[in-house]
Amino acid sequence: MIHVDDVTYFTRGYCFALALELHARAGFPLRVFHSDNDHHHHALVKLPDGQFLDVRGIQNRDAIKRHWGPGILRAVGPDFFKDWSENVEVSLGKLGKKRLNRVANKLLQRLVTLKCTECPAIKVVSREPCFYDFTEVTTICPRCEKDPKKKARHDRLLVPSRGTTRKAKHDRRAQNKK
């Protein structure tokens, strides 16, 4: 769980530092949100499935706009943020590198990529207890699940064939004889 002080720290100034760290570690593209009234600017990264990640976790475009108000998200490069630290240091002090590493680690460790076995669709979700240490899980997307052929092919991947089961029994018997 991300501490409330960290959420404040990385939403009220050092959001750009966290976005740059996530970009450097995972290669996620950088995005910046500009509110229509020009009062709010927020840096975050875009995940492969089109959602966005910042200190508050995985969010879609609507959640970002609900939090920050009307505005636009646009792609930027790392150089876009070169002047941001000077403005932030006045109010928050120098960037805490340990704090930045700790929060970036927590965010990246909680990500799990769900990949469809039948199409290139992916979805990134926050780790739930049932995922244990997996970083990638194969599944079937809702669109492919509606296609009976794709659903059957996916189901065959999950259930071992009879030959595999017999071989496994044979291997266990051979091991028990030793």
Considering 75, 108, 141, which residue would you say is the last residue of a domain?
108
The whole-number pLDDT of residue 88 equals 67
Sequential pLDDT tens for the chain (178 residues): 688 888 888 888 888 999 999 999 889 999 999 887 766 689 999 998 889 999 998 999 999 888 888 888 899 999 988 877 766 665 667 778 898 999 999 888 888 778 888 887 777 777 665 555 666 777 777 788 888 888 888 777 766 545 444 555 555 566 666 5
Considering 93, 108, 123, which residue would you say is the last residue of a domain?
108
Domain of 150, in residue numbers: 111-177
Is 23 in the same domain as 76? yes
Is 45 in the same domain as 60? yes
Instruction: With residue 45 as reference, give the H or E element that holds it.
Output: strand 41-46
Considering 77, 108, 139, which residue would you say is the last residue of a domain?
108
Is 102 in the same domain as 123? no
The whole-number pLDDT of residue 44 equals 94
Pairing of strands 122-126, 30-35: unpaired
For the record, the structure tokens of 40 come out as 């709010």
Is 97 in the same domain as 115? no
The whole-number pLDDT of residue 170 equals 53
Is 102 in the same domain as 21? yes
Quick check: helix, strand or coil at residue 43? Answer: strand
Confidence (pTM):
0.73
Instruction: With residue 146 as reference, give the H or E element that holds it.
Output: none
User: How many structural domains does the chain have?
Assistant: 2
Is 65 in the same domain as 117? no
Is 126 in the same domain as 172? yes
Q: Are 53 and 45 in contact (CB under 8 A)?
A: yes
